[in-house]
Amino acid sequence: MTSRFVFEYFPVSTFAELSLSPTILKSLQDLGYVTPTPIQKATIPLVNAGRDVLGIAQTGTGKTAAFCLPIIEKLSREKIQSTPSHPRVLILTPTRELAIQIDENIQQYAKNLRITSAVIFGGVSQGRQVTALKKAPHILVATPGRLLDLNNQKLLSLRKVDVFVLDEADRMLDMGFLNDIRKILGLLPSKRHNLFFSATMPKDIQELANSILVNPEKVEVTPQSTTVKMIQQSAMYVEKADKIKLLVHLLQDPALKKVLVFVEMKYLANRVCEALIKAGISAQAIHGNKSQPARQRAISEFASGQVRVLVATDIASRGIDIDGITHVINYELSNILESYVHRIGRTARAGTSGVAISLVSGMEKSYLAAIEKTTGQKIKIEEDHPFHSQDVESARILSVGKAKAALEAQRKGGRTGATSDRRRTFQRKRKPGNSR
């Protein structure tokens, strides 16, 4: 496998240099796309050449266009035909939000071409989705559960798929989709073009990639488990009971224009949202218990600026691709490094700057130490706020070695003292159904 570092090997400055048709270039111009991002510079030529690709890139780096543009180019150039319920391209993604956004992007890129797409996901009636499949879309964007469901009903066939894209592979495994992915792979033709994208590459993701890809080119935009350098990261020590007060205090600053707040649990997303609204701050919450229309409405209002703050759990937020997010606030600091990377990557997108603030209680100091150790980046501690906690500041931090060991144990499914304590805390307080 060849590893390509795009800044060195792909000195491309315009989309026209990537062998895209004038029609596609016109669509990109209308969208305001000027210069390809690094992942696009590297991936598009490889996909055009028919190579399998293993892409490692953080969110906000332009991955969707990196694989969609050459796929649309191929379908158009080769005049590939589709038949009802037999798509030629399958893009598999973990969440409905991301599936919808990818489909919207495809429609924008292919608006002047006779290339069609459809999107299917669970949580809604299948009627319209079945109708869309009967219209013979070239490209199908899908989440695993609904895809397998429609296939089992014989309303969909994957036997004619030429190109298979697995997007956000690490989140797929986090959400427990490994068995579904294996079932879907069994439904695909053995001879196909494969594209595999992930923000991180732990051992289990590498093993999955090895089972899918054939002699792939590896495109790595940023080192694994590192954070976007354009993001100004800081942490604030605060007692758990004072977190909501500190959040309201921070939001008094008008510089926090469009803020994404992350929590771990569904019930807490609702609680934080209600507290912000009570304080006169416009906010919406998204999590797994929200209906699909409610989640889309919340995202739309946040994107348009009608709502200033969006409070989200990790899984519900997957696929949020909104420009102009000025701040990401970790109301709770995740003990999963990849989640931290994904979260803060929602700001500073496409080369812009952004701010990430973590509200850290005593229990979470070990997570902060593990993040600093693994990313190799020191996170500034901000003490100049009215809820700074001396007790949290002086709380015992795991040694660097133990912090790293705890992180590795968590990745492998083991339990550390810190994670076990946190689980017990959540189990005492959450009600049935209050999962992420």
Residue pointed to by tokens 């797994």: 288
Residue type, 230: M
Report how far residue 111's alpha carbon sits from residue 429's, in angstroms, rounded to the nearest whole number: 50
Q: Is 180 inside a domain boundary? A: yes
Asked if residue 214 and residue 286 are part of one domain, the reply reads no
Residue 289 pLDDT level (bands cut at 50, 70, 90):
confident
Asked if residue 154 and residue 201 are part of one domain, the reply reads yes
Domain end marker among 192, 220, 248: 220
Higher pLDDT: 36 or 133? It is 133
> CA 416 from chain center: how many Å?
26
Asked if residue 387 and residue 238 are part of one domain, the reply reads yes
Asked if residue 207 and residue 269 are part of one domain, the reply reads no
53-67, 134-148, 294-308: least confident range: 53-67
In the chain, % of residues over pLDDT 70: 82
State the pLDDT at residue 395.
54
pLDDT(207) > 90: yes
19-28, 140-149, 285-294, 381-390: least confident range: 285-294
User: Which of the 8 DSSP states describes residue 382?
Assistant: P
Q: Is 160 inside a domain boundary? A: yes
Q: Is 321 inside a domain boundary? A: yes
Higher pLDDT: 107 or 433? It is 107
Residue 431 pLDDT level (bands cut at 50, 70, 90):
very low
The H or E element that residue 231 is part of is strand 231-237
Asked if residue 304 and residue 247 are part of one domain, the reply reads yes
Range of the domain at 197: 2-220
Asked if residue 124 and residue 247 are part of one domain, the reply reads no
Asked if residue 274 and residue 205 are part of one domain, the reply reads no
Domain end marker among 159, 188, 220: 220
Span 94-105, average pLDDT: 87
Mind listing the pLDDT tens digit for each residue in 42-87?
999 999 999 999 998 766 678 899 999 999 999 999 999 999 999 9
User: Taking a C-beta distance cutoff of 8 angstroms, is the pair 77, 118 a contact?
Assistant: no
Q: Is 112 inside a domain boundary? A: yes
> What are the tokens at 121?
């996901």
Q: Is 436 inside a domain boundary? A: no
State the pLDDT at residue 397.
43
Asked if residue 253 and residue 205 are part of one domain, the reply reads no
Span 323-334, average pLDDT: 91
Mind listing the pLDDT tens digit for each residue in 396-409?
444 344 455 555 56
State the pLDDT at residue 351.
60
Higher pLDDT: 126 or 377? It is 126
Asked if residue 257 and residue 358 are part of one domain, the reply reads yes
State the pLDDT at residue 274.
96
pLDDT(313) > 90: no
> CA 316 from chain center: how many Å?
10
State the pLDDT at residue 345.
81
DSSP 186-245: HHS-SS-EEEEEES---HHHHHHHHHH-SSPEEEESS-TT---TTEEEEEEE--GGGHHH
Q: Looking at residue 364, which CATH number applies to its domain? A: 3.40.50.300
User: Which of the 8 DSSP states describes residue 196?
Assistant: E
The HSE-up count of residue 391 (CA atoms within 13 Å, CB side) is 8
Higher pLDDT: 426 or 319? It is 319
The HSE-up count of residue 297 (CA atoms within 13 Å, CB side) is 8
0.75 exceeded by pTM: no
pLDDT(321) > 90: no
Q: Is 434 inside a domain boundary? A: no
Report how far residue 325's alpha carbon sits from residue 256's, in angstroms, rounded to the nearest whole number: 9
Residue type, 344: I
Closest to 122 (Cα-Cα) out of 140, 137, 141, 143: 143
State the pLDDT at residue 119.
97
Asked if residue 236 and residue 163 are part of one domain, the reply reads no
Residue type, 330: N
Mind listing the pLDDT tens digit for each residue in 169-203?
988 887 889 999 999 999 999 999 999 998 778 88
Expressed in angstroms, the distance from the first to the final Cα of the chain is 37
User: Taking a C-beta distance cutoff of 8 angstroms, is the pair 315, 143 a contact?
Assistant: no
Helices 266-278/243-250 angle, 10° precision? 50
State the pLDDT at residue 425.
35
How wide is the angle at C-alpha 327 spanned by C-alphas 109 and 372, nearest 5°? 105
Q: Is 36 inside a domain boundary? A: yes
State the pLDDT at residue 5.
46
- Number of structural domains (the chain) is 2
**Helices (H) then strands (E): counts for the chain:** 19, 15
Closest to 195 (Cα-Cα) out of 174, 164, 223, 172: 164
Asked if residue 411 and residue 278 are part of one domain, the reply reads yes
Domain end marker among 164, 191, 220: 220
User: Taking a C-beta distance cutoff of 8 angstroms, is the pair 353, 231 a contact?
Assistant: yes
Asked if residue 342 and residue 298 are part of one domain, the reply reads yes
State the pLDDT at residue 412.
56
Q: Is 42 inside a domain boundary? A: yes
Span 260-264, average pLDDT: 93
Higher pLDDT: 393 or 180? It is 180
pLDDT(424) > 80: no
Higher pLDDT: 381 or 9? It is 381
Span 389-394, average pLDDT: 78
pLDDT(239) > 90: yes
